[in-house]
Amino acid sequence: MDQSLPGSFETSGLRSGIIAGLDAPQLSGWIALLLAVLLIGRFIFWKPQLATQRLDIGIMYLGYLVIIAQLLIEFLRQLTPVQNRF
């Protein structure tokens, strides 16, 4: 590793400042939900009926919906507590 960046990969700075009282996984879950809601709103006003007329746009819209689904899954994963399975 380059010696000019000795502490650049340390995460100790994440717990200071504004986000000191917030849990990072919980925060990322809520950000994922916000992004999913914004993308759903954009998708509705983005003329999804064009996907039935052109294959390339249909594939793009499917990818867009998969991104929304992944963000919602991430939100649900961060929302539910992890239980020890052992």
**Distance between CA atoms of 78 and 73, rounded to whole angstroms?**
9
**Structure-token pair, residue 55:** 């294959």
- Predicted structure pTM score: 0.61
Give 23-75 pLDDT, tens digit per residue.
676 788 889 999 999 999 988 887 777 777 888 888 888 999 999 999 999 99
Domain ranges of the chain: 22-79
Phi, psi for residue 16 in degrees, rounded to 5: -105, 160
